[in-house]
Amino acid sequence: MKPLAWIFVGLLVAVLGACGSTTGPNPSNPNPGTPNPGATGFKTAAVLPEGLKNLEQELSPLLVELVELARSKSQNAATLTGTLTQSGNTFTYSSTPTDRLRVVWSDGVVYEFVITQFQGNLAGGATAFYKGNHLLQYSAQLKPDNEMGPVNLSLRSQRQGSTLSVSLGGTAVFDGQTHTLNLNYAQQVLSDFGPGSILFHHQDTLQGSLQGPSFQIQVNETYDFRLVGSDSLVMQTIRTLNNAWSEGGQQFRLQNGLIKRVFRDGNPIELDFWTAEGDLLRGNTRVGGFGQALTGNLLEQFLDTPSGRVRLGVFRF
């Protein structure tokens, strides 16, 4: 068990790609008299919603594992507070503090959780708890990685049958700026793990808003996620984006954004499947859009904007 900065290694990192840097060249400005806004809003609208969704999908199962560990170490089936301290591959437990669960990882990174609802069946272990009917409500303070964080989140996760409903509030620092969150996503599980092999398929809808220092983004995205295999794992993701935001007195929106990726054991495969397409509009005028370019064995997916190119990921085939 490791903090999220390392949990993201492997398949999750492959999904997120090299989210981040804005690079040139600038595409032509169809209206030279209109000043180009900064790249912050474009990057945030294209990258942050997915990053927050993936963070929650890692964080809630991790919290269940930590509670299971704290209860085992404390020999108290009601434990939701205290301190877990990692040393190598082992943990020690202390009963203080009594108002939150504090986790000190071996590299000094600290996560803190205040748990207000923890309903579910832990008898079958953390995985069975999270994949079964449950209600989790908690706040979390942590720094997930170099680009996102620190975050101070309030989260609610409830599963009934094949439907998972999640809400995220609070704040997250992204690319050096603080954003206020009001996001909800619904997940419909279409298939799950089977004996001897894996077949996991779910479809998600993510909606809500992100409020930054100089812009507000309306989030409207969908996800289709498939994980199949036995000796090796093949993961396929399809993301659609129709987000809108205002920045510098101008209105922007992503229209019919589509990003498709597929991996085997964390490595990109099936180049013909990979897609990055859709339009970036200012008002009703196209000023950029999603695209991808293959240079040698490196495929870059990006969003071209009036102020530069936002890199969504670079993948080696």
The predicted pLDDT at position 29 comes to 35
Identify the CA nearest to 153 among candidates 166, 177, 171: 171
What tokens appear for 70 in the block? 């704290």
The ranges of the chain with pLDDT < 50 are 5-36
Identify the CA nearest to 233 among candidates 194, 267, 260, 188: 267
Between strands 275-282 and 250-264, the pairing is: antiparallel
The predicted pLDDT at position 226 comes to 94
The predicted pLDDT at position 110 comes to 96
What tokens appear for 163 in the block? 């439907």
Q: For residue 113, what is the enclosing H or E element?
A: strand 110-119
Identify the CA nearest to 182 among candidates 161, 216, 210, 222: 210
Q: Is the dihedral of CA 93, 96, 97, 100 positive or negative?
A: positive
Q: How far apart are CA 156 and CA 165, in angstroms?
A: 8
Find how far residue 284's CA is from the centre of its chain: 30
- In this structure, are residues 97 and 84 in contact, taking their beta carbons and an 8 Å threshold? no
**Beta-carbon count within 10 A of 107 CB:** 10
CB burial of residue 96 (10 Å; 0-12, 13-18, 19+): exposed
Identify the CA nearest to 175 among candidates 58, 302, 17, 39: 39
Q: How far apart are CA 228 and CA 311, in angstroms?
A: 28
Q: How far apart are CA 162 and CA 186, in angstroms?
A: 11
Residue keyed to tokens 């101008």: 250
Q: What is the pTM of this model?
A: 0.84
Q: Is the dihedral of CA 80, 66, 83, 11 positive or negative?
A: negative
Q: Phi and psi of 262, rounded to 5°?
A: -150, 140
* Residues facing 91 on adjacent strands: 86
The predicted pLDDT at position 1 comes to 60
The predicted pLDDT at position 146 comes to 74
Identify the CA nearest to 86 among candidates 60, 98, 104, 101: 104
What tokens appear for 277 in the block? 């397409």
* Residues facing 90 on adjacent strands: 87
The predicted pLDDT at position 199 comes to 84
